[in-house]
Amino acid sequence: MSLIEIERREAGAATIAIVRFNNPPKGYMNAAMVGELDAAVDGLLGDESVRVLVFTGALKGVFIEHYDVSELLALSEKLRAKGASFSLDRLSPESGYHRILARLEAAPKPVIAAINGTAMGGGFEFCMACDIRLAERGPYWLGQPEINIGILAGAGGTQRLARLVGEARALELSLMGRTVSPDEAASLGMVHAAVDGPVLDHALTMARRLAAQPPRAVAHIKRLVRSAAETPLSQGLAQERTLFMDLAVSDDGHRLMGEFVAGTRTIRD
């Protein structure tokens, strides 16, 4: 059984890739799934016909429950037997999962999380690496409860959550190990919206719109916005005006601005 299922849907001249996480019965992320996900992400990001990636769960009510704790416990036992210790003086290297999340953030293509159920721990860390997060309303739980089993969110949870909801709220959620409903997640800014199901329909409506946008403009905007928090303002402004000019002379930019001036296109959606 494949743990990662890929479906391609045509959207005009472009393709939308739907990637489903399928690991019954509990919907855990584990090392085998990470391996399949790595290959899937590589292939889809390298396919120029694919304009948008949409990730969702194949199991009813589950996006990714969380990372498989039995694997983490086995790793703990192995390292403890070796007498391993860790310090900020010697940083731990990235794992395959860390690299996947970083690639999705840096990718020139939009990435949507269609959260069809519970997404905790490593599951919600995946969601936070996506550009757009839509959560289906229901008895589902989102967030970073790792402290409740003695660890912390180790795949970007502390860093990305603070950037989404602010330091104070991220501390409260992470220190209390509190998970939230889709509606509360939307009110806090953890997801863009809570929607009545099925969430995939909402995600595909957005994906079709994104797939129709000029891909060069999409890539430039994503790059600038994604790097804004870590880039000095003067440098970010210089990059912005440079990429603005690059789009102004591009085929799509020249054509679409011409249509607007001719009165055959509106600038509003």
Catalytic positions, written as ranges: 125, 146
Dist. CA 99–CA 38, nearest whole Å: 9
Bridge pairing between strands 50-57 and 14-21: parallel
For residue 198, cis peptide bond before it (omega within 30 degrees of 0): yes
Contact between residue 144 and residue 125 where contact means Cβ atoms under 8 Å apart: yes
Dist. CA 16–CA 60, nearest whole Å: 22
Strand (E) or helix (H) holding 143:
strand 142-143
Tokens of 53: 């990636």
Question: Which residue's entry shows tokens 């919600």?
Answer: 124
Q: Which amino acid is at 100?
A: I
Contact between residue 160 and residue 124 where contact means Cβ atoms under 8 Å apart: no
Q: Which residues contact 103 (CB under 8 A, 6 or more apart)?
A: 41, 45
